[in-house]
Amino acid sequence: MEKVSDYFGCMVFDDRVMKANLSAEVYRSLRKTIDENARLDINVANAVAAAMKDWAVAHGATHYTHWFQPLTGVTAEKHDSFISPSPDGGVIMEFSGKELIKGEPDASSFPSGGLRATFEARGYTAWDPTSYAFIKGKTLCIPTAFCSYGGEALDKKTPLLRSMQALNKQALRILKLFGNNTVKCVRTSVGPEQEYFLITKEMYDQRPDLRFTGRTLFGAKSPKGQEMDDHYFGVIKPRVAAYMEELNQELWKLGILAKTEHNEVAPAQHELAPIYTTTNVATDHNQLTMEIMQKVAAKHGLVCLLHEKPFAGVNGSGKHNNWSLTTDTGVNLLSPGETPYENAQFLLFLCAVIKAVDDYQDLLRLSVATAGNDHRLGANEAPPAVVSVFLGDELNAVLEAIESGQPYSGVDKTVMKLGVNVLPRFNRDTTDRNRTSPFAFTGNKFEFRMLGSSNSIACANMMLNSAVAESLKIYADRLEGAEDFETTLHEMIRKTIKDHKRIVFNGNGYDDTWIREATEKRGLLNYRTTPDCMPHLLDKKNVDMLTSHKVFSEAELKSRCDIMLENYCKTVLIEANTMVDMARTLIAPAVESYTLKVARTAAAKKAVDENLACGYEKDLVRKLSTLTDRIAVKTAELEDAVAALHNEEDIISESNAVRDTLLPKMEELRLACDEAETLTAKSEWPFPTYGDLLFGVR
Ligand code: ADP
Ligand code: MG
């Protein structure tokens, strides 16, 4: 067995390969582009392209593609081969700097939310040199941003990169105020923990709901679920272990730092966590990870479910977005420092995050909103739909002491004065006990836990970065003009704590009393569904903030809001249609045929002895018959609800109708069918049950 260090990153055109294959001058110039965002000279691009092609061809690649993340939620690629005819009738392998930097895929089949009408059908992709190119199969993949011809973003990477730039700009202003002039760049880093389910391919194939929608639309509870807590961190089954081993190898080849893996709370549920890296790279890696999880599963006769809620009544899957700010000199700005001055700087960045989360609760909530994630948030397993920040008791006490001007007992009964007192050492282990908070400080990073397992992390991070950039901008504006830096700083931090402490909550986020307190006493937002929150993307305060930092244009925001709501409607619509189809062509016929069998049994018994009561059969036939009638009625009602959607005037009213009429009808149909399942012989049921699916991988 090869050592991991021998093959780690072998399919990546990373720094090691660049150094080895580029001239010193080209390498230096490219590094400047990567590290400092410097413009790339076309000669340098040509040299990089040539080296990239030679390296890729040596590794078996025949094609290249610009790899991008349109608003479909999955990645897109359009393969071009390197071959170019040579005069002697043969071919040579070619790849120019121009082809590396820019591509022109036809944008017309990707969602553009109206931007296409305003601009042009064509779009272009632009190389993101900060995310390394890699080989997948026989194709060299070049991470790119995807825009319309007018330069409007049609993807998730473009606004993410813009938000990183915005945050960098404001964070550098703050660092300068603290006398730090050596830092050239501040980046956000992310380590996304990814949850998923594994089921057997054989069972998956028998369930149209899983195949068409990624989740089970029917299914009675299995006798055993997750109540024993025996799966969490439990022994990993051999078949799953083999899967995880191959998954790790494939990820490591692509330079993805897959680090930990374990079983999750629900049966058949698992988690993979990578070591954190720069946000745009982490985003690319997470997209690749999800793709490879599914590919490797197929090789093992398994299917990897990334849906947020594949099984009702069983924990859903999320993605924890561990987020921090780091300088190019290696300092984590969310790590409490060693000196009073560093501590003051830490507290300022901490306050910037608290303020950002409070001011832009709506943006954070809507950045994770999808039809799938609506089943999770607030459903007693994931964080609630109310956004709040967990700080832990120690840090909370420090902030309270600053706010009140009272002594903090942790620091020798002295009054906390910023820039003078050393902060108490936080015990990192005590900061992460709260697993119910949507946004928890965990010692030197924040963990945003509201993301759904299939969400691209780009959306959450572009909102988070932008909101924090806005806090920092307000701070920097004030501090740059301040006469007395320290007093102003102290007052600003104090005011932030006072104004925004309502967002801080250190208790149990699953508790109903918290939801009441949050909404009634504290005035926090509680957007339970996607149609509830998404339109707020266009609230003036949000548009103003996002456009002022040049993360989005107003047109881009409008288009995104439309696309997200359209996605929501389409997702639920497909689910509704799948339910109608399954109820009518699989479930009702199965119940009917079983009813007939039971009725025939009664008739046969009567033929033997007409005095037999046949109470069991009669009762069952009556019950099943009532249920088939109800299934038929509910199916027809759901169909009518689907048809009525055509009358809705715009996407907002359509999405409201989907939430208010379609989803309840789907639930009613499901209830009737699930009840029928509990009364029908297992041998007659037309597809694998929850028990089969959840305990099927051995
Ligand atoms: P925990 O015990 O709180 O889960 P871990 O150290 O296991 O913490 O980290 C969980 C995830 O957080 C990992 O993906 C890890 O890479 C990531 N992480 C750790 N430090 C940082 C950081 N400074 N910035 C972003 N992510 C981080
Ligand atoms: Mg964690």
Q: Show me where the domains of the chain are located.
A: 4-155, 164-552, 567-694
Does the beta carbon of 276 sit less than 6 angstroms from any atom of ligand 1? Answer: yes
| Residue of 346, 437, 445 to test ligand 1 pocket, by largest number of atoms within 8 Å of CB | 445
| Residue of 277, 321, 322, 447 to test ligand 1 pocket, by largest number of atoms within 8 Å of CB | 322
Residue-wise pLDDT tens digits, 602-628: 999 999 999 999 999 999 999 999 999
- Ligand 2 centroid – CA 468 distance (Å): 21
- Ligand 2 centroid – CA 681 distance (Å): 43
DSSP single-letter state for residue 684:
G
| Length of the chain (residues) | 698
**Residue 403: which residues within 8 A CB-CB, separation 6 or more?**
494, 497, 498, 501
Q: Residue 443 CA: which ligand is closest?
A: 1
Does the beta carbon of 148 sit less than 6 angstroms from any atom of ligand 1? Answer: no
**Assigned token pair, 198:** 């594994």
Q: From the CB of residue 312, how many other CB atoms can be counted at a distance below 10 Å? A: 19
pLDDT of residue 424: 56
Assign residue 578 a region (left: φ > 0; alpha: ψ between -120 and 50; beta: otherwise): alpha
Q: Which CATH number fits domain 164-552: 3.20.20.70, 3.30.590.10, 3.40.50.1820, 3.10.620.30?
A: 3.30.590.10
Residue-wise pLDDT tens digits, 508-529: 888 889 999 999 999 999 999 9
Say whether pLDDT at 172 is over 70: yes
Angstrom distance (rounded) from CA 248 to CA 622: 54
Q: How confident is the model at residue 145 (pLDDT cuts 50, 70, 90)?
A: very high
Q: From the CB of residue 346, how many other CB atoms can be counted at a distance below 10 Å? A: 18
- Ligand 1 centroid – CA 637 distance (Å): 48
Say whether pLDDT at 116 is over 80: no
Q: How confident is the model at residue 446 (pLDDT cuts 50, 70, 90)?
A: very high
Q: How confident is the model at residue 417 (pLDDT cuts 50, 70, 90)?
A: low
Ligand 1 atom at minimum distance from 447 CA: 12
The average pLDDT across 562-574 equals 96
The average pLDDT across 464-490 equals 95
- Ligand 2 centroid – CA 438 distance (Å): 12
Does the beta carbon of 688 sit less than 6 angstroms from any atom of ligand 1? Answer: no
Residue-wise pLDDT tens digits, 124-135: 899 999 999 999
Angstrom distance (rounded) from CA 71 to CA 156: 7
Q: Residue 442 CA: which ligand is closest?
A: 1
Short-list 361, 352, 585, 612, CA closest to 489 = 352
pTM of the model: 0.93
Q: What share of the chain is helix, strand, coil (3-state, %, to 5)?
A: 50, 15, 35
Rounded to 5 degrees, φ, ψ at 296 are -65, -35
665 near 638, Cβ under 8 Å? yes
User: Which range among 91-95, 268-272, 549-553 shows the weakest confidence by mean pLDDT?
Assistant: 91-95
**Residue 282: which residues within 8 A CB-CB, separation 6 or more?**
189, 190, 191, 192, 274, 276, 457
SS3 state of residue 200: strand
Q: Distance between terminal CA atoms of the chain? A: 25
Ligand 1 atom at minimum distance from 322 CA: 26
Angstrom distance (rounded) from CA 143 to CA 23: 23
**Residue 371: which residues within 8 A CB-CB, separation 6 or more?**
530, 567, 568, 571, 572, 575
Short-list 334, 533, 497, CA closest to 428 = 334
Which amino acid is present at 87? P
pLDDT of residue 511: 83
Does the beta carbon of 321 sit less than 6 angstroms from any atom of ligand 1? Answer: no
CATH topology of domain 4-155: Ubiquitin-like (UB roll) (3.10.20)
Average pLDDT of the chain?
91
350 near 337, Cβ under 8 Å? no
Residue-wise pLDDT tens digits, 636-645: 999 999 999 9
Q: Residue 441 CA: which ligand is closest?
A: 1
Which amino acid is present at 303? V
Q: Residue 392 CA: which ligand is closest?
A: 1
- Ligand 2 centroid – CA 167 distance (Å): 24
Does the beta carbon of 273 sit less than 6 angstroms from any atom of ligand 1? Answer: yes
Q: How confident is the model at residue 267 (pLDDT cuts 50, 70, 90)?
A: confident
Does the beta carbon of 113 sit less than 6 angstroms from any atom of ligand 1? Answer: no
More confident residue, 115 or 320: 320
CATH topology of domain 567-694: Four Helix Bundle (Hemerythrin (Met), subunit A) (1.20.120)
The average pLDDT across 9-32 equals 95
pLDDT of residue 129: 92
